[in-house]
């Protein structure tokens, strides 16, 4: 499909006014010499830069550019003279009223020459995603991690032999390209739309680094042993650019997947977590890995995507562990993968015993408070409980049937004015969340005891937890 048409109309004898009215044209169709796609993953946005060679005569020239049935933002189309700078000047750009996906460039040239021009524009419909395949070794302490990028083209246009650059980061757009495409027919709004995409132009300027380097590489012999294409990574501002070596063809409707990186032995740490707010009421197995050099990674951030996790069981076979969403991981940052419940590690939270004390009564008649047990109780049937403390003893029961030592992290949230009592090494995560960690040997059973005291009614003065080191005995009934 060739929807993008670039027409060079040589109008040596006719005035521009007559040109727009004539019905018989003589045109030449210069091919693309090179094309570069800069694809953003956070937005439906791709910057296309293409170079073509056109014959320019001395004097006035008119170029027609049209993009029927594509998803190009008409306000973003720009023309630049790569060769003959200063000798050729772009005058006005005209958008004909009866042909929405078309424009005319008026060019004034001081010389007659074969000029190289660069046309750039934004299009939607081209996207890229990252995905990962991870294969854990049999002991589960390391994984082979392959990362891939997949480019998908639904722009309406084929891009052959394109240099592809993938931008990882979140840019700000005032309007989506899709919206601009839909509104392309509304001539009145075009000027304002151009102003609104100034930020896009700034982004394009930022990405102009190495912009002149995308020329056709030397042809590769068909029967030579090809290596995988390298994907170079470089940072720019708050973003990363992944550049695919050489050129790729991505036809409309097709996707193409390339390996971005591979690390054969990424160290993996396994921890089991109970965090009801994050993972629900269950103990989940979390794999942790670091995007750093120690893990044979750390060259670039790991983009957001999906990850399929397998484990090498025996004789090279794979066991499926989980398919997950993988969040962006910066260089040096830790990645966490929740692979779900391991049925071989039993976990149970049991409320063992409850009681109330420190009960205060309020007497309406005298407007006084008395505490039960202090010996100054006034017998009054209208008195009401105004404050009390609630004690709950909990046990977190763990049984490790995995055959391996495991690390367990437990995090619980308690609202109100609370005291957490235990002889365990409990730490405060935030003002109303405490956490404790333990290691459970193979075959071992553990009962982690702690007491939660919550002050109620007039006894409550704060909304935070306080930790108190105190041995808690298992209740005897």
Partner 1 sequence: MHYRRLYGAIALSLCALSVNSYARIKLISLPVREHIEIQLENKHTTIIEEERIVPLKKGRNSIDFSWQNTAIKPETIVFRVLPDTASAQSLKVNVLSVSYPPNESALTWQVSASQSGSARVRISYAIHRLEKQYHYLARVNADETAMELFQYIRVNNQSGEQFLNAGLNTGNGRPVQLSIGLNETQEYLNQQFSSVPLEKTLTVNAAAMGYRDRSQDKLNVLMHYQLHNDASHKLGKSPLAAGKYRIYQQDKQGGSVFIGEDQGQYTAVDDSQKLFIGKARDVVVRRIIERKKRKEINGNLYNMDVLVKYEIENFKNTPVTLTIEESLAYLKQESGLYDSQSFIEWQIGKDTSFKTRPLKEETSADKLVYQITLPAKRKTGQPVKVQPRLNILFNNLFSSSISRVR
| Binding to partner 1, residues 208-267 (CB under 8 A) | 221-229, 248-249, 251-259
DSSP H or E stretch at residue 191: helix 190-196
Cα distances from 168 to residues 133, 154, 298, in angstroms, run 19, 20, 15
- Asked if residue 413 binds partner 1 (CB under 8 A), the reply is no
DSSP H or E stretch at residue 192: helix 190-196
Window 75 to 104, contacts with partner 1 (CB under 8 A) = none
- Asked if residue 386 binds partner 1 (CB under 8 A), the reply is yes
No. of helices (H) and no. of strands (E), the chain: 5, 30
CB 309 within 8 A of CB 287: yes
The SS3 assignment for 45 reads strand
Residue 325 beta carbon to partner 1: minimum distance, rounded to whole angstroms: 12
- Asked if residue 382 binds partner 1 (CB under 8 A), the reply is yes
- Number of CB atoms found within 10 A of residue 425's CB: 10
Residue 240 beta carbon to partner 1: minimum distance, rounded to whole angstroms: 21
Beta pairing partners, 128: 151
- Asked if residue 414 binds partner 1 (CB under 8 A), the reply is no
Residue 359 beta carbon to partner 1: minimum distance, rounded to whole angstroms: 6
CB 123 within 8 A of CB 62: no
Distance from the Cα of residue 311 to its chain's centroid: 26
By C-beta, is 98 or 223 nearer to partner 1?
223
- Asked if residue 374 binds partner 1 (CB under 8 A), the reply is no
Contact stretch for partner 1 (CB under 8 A) within 28-36, 107-115, 264-272, 317-325: 317-325
Residue 145 beta carbon to partner 1: minimum distance, rounded to whole angstroms: 13
Site mask for partner 1 (CB under 8 A), range 417-456, x = bound: --------------------------x-------------
Residue 12 beta carbon to partner 1: minimum distance, rounded to whole angstroms: 39
Window 103 to 162, contacts with partner 1 (CB under 8 A) = 131, 133, 150, 152, 160
By C-beta, is 4 or 77 nearer to partner 1?
4
Residue 159 beta carbon to partner 1: minimum distance, rounded to whole angstroms: 10
With residues binned 3-state (H G I as helix, E B as strand, rest as coil), the percentages for the chain, rounded to 5, are 10, 55, 35
Residue 160 beta carbon to partner 1: minimum distance, rounded to whole angstroms: 7
User: What is the rounded radius of gyration, in angstroms, for the C-alpha atoms of the chain?
Assistant: 34
By C-beta, is 217 or 443 nearer to partner 1?
443
Residue 236 beta carbon to partner 1: minimum distance, rounded to whole angstroms: 25
In 3D space, the residue among 146, 148, 150 whose CA is nearest the CA of residue 127 turns out to be 150
- Token digits of residue 51: 């170079």
Q: Pick from 26, 379, 471, 473: which binds partner 1 (CB under 8 A)? A: 379
- Number of CB atoms found within 10 A of residue 96's CB: 13
The SS3 assignment for 87 reads coil
Contact stretch for partner 1 (CB under 8 A) within 55-63, 86-94, 184-192, 393-401: 393-401
Contact partners, residue 188, CB within 8 Å, separation at least 6: none
Window 323 to 362, contacts with partner 1 (CB under 8 A) = 323, 343-344, 346, 350-357, 359, 361-362
């Amino acid at each position: 499909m060739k929807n993008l048409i670039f027409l060079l109309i040589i109008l040596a004898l006719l005035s521009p006014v007559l040109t727009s009215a004539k019905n018989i044209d003589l045109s030449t169709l210069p091919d693309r010499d090179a094309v570069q796609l800069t694809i953003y993953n956070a937005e439906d946005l791709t910057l296309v830069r293409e170079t073509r060679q056109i014959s320019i005569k001395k004097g006035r020239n008119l170029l027609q550019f049209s993009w029927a049935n594509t998803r190009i933002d008409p306000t973003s189309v720009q023309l630049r003279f790569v060769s003959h700078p200063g000798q050729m000047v772009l005058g006005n750009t005209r958008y004909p009223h009866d042909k929405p996906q078309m424009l005319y460039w008026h060019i004034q040239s001081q010389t007659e020459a074969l000029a190289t021009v660069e046309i750039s524009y934004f299009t939607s419909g081209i996207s890229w995603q990252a995905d990962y395949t991870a294969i854990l070794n049999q002991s589960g302490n390391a994984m082979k991690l392959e990362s891939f990028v997949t480019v998908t083209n639904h722009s309406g246009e084929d891009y052959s032999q394109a240099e592809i650059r993938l931008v990882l980061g979140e840019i700000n757009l005032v309007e989506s390209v899709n919206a601009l495409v839909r509104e392309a027919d509304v001539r009145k709004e075009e000027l304002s739309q151009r102003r609104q995409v100034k930020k896009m132009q700034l982004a394009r300027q930022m990405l102009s680094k190495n912009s002149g380097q995308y020329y056709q590489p030397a042809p590769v012999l068909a029967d030579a042993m090809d290596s995988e294409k390298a994907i170079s990574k470089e940072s720019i501002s708050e973003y990363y650019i992944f550049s695919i070596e050489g050129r790729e063809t991505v036809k409309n409707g097709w996707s193409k997947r390339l390996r971005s990186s591979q690390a054969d032995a990424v160290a993996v740490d396994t921890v089991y977590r109970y965090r009801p707010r994050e993972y629900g009421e269950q103990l989940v197995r979390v794999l942790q890995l670091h995007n750093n050099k120690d893990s044979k990674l750390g060259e670039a951030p790991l983009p957001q995507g999906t990850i399929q996790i397998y484990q090498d069981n025996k004789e090279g076979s794979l066991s499926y562990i989980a398919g997950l969403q993988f969040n962006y991981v910066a260089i040096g940052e830790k990645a966490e993968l929740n692979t779900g419940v391991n049925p071989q590690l039993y976990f149970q939270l049991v409320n063992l015993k409850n009681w109330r004390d420190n009960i205060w009564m309020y007497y309406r008649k005298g407007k006084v408070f008395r505490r039960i047990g202090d010996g100054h109780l006034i017998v009054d049937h209208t008195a009401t409980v105004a404050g009390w403390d609630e004690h709950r003893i909990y046990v977190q029961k763990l049984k490790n049937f995995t055959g391996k030592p495991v690390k367990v992290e437990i995090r619980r949230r308690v609202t109100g004015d609370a005291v957490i009592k235990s002889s365990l090494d409990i730490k405060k995560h935030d003002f109303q969340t405490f956490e404790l960690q333990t290691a459970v040997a193979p075959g071992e059973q553990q009962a982690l005891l702690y007491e939660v005291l919550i002050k109620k009614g007039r006894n409550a003065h704060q909304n935070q937890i306080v930790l108190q080191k105190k041995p808690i005995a298992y209740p005897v009934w």
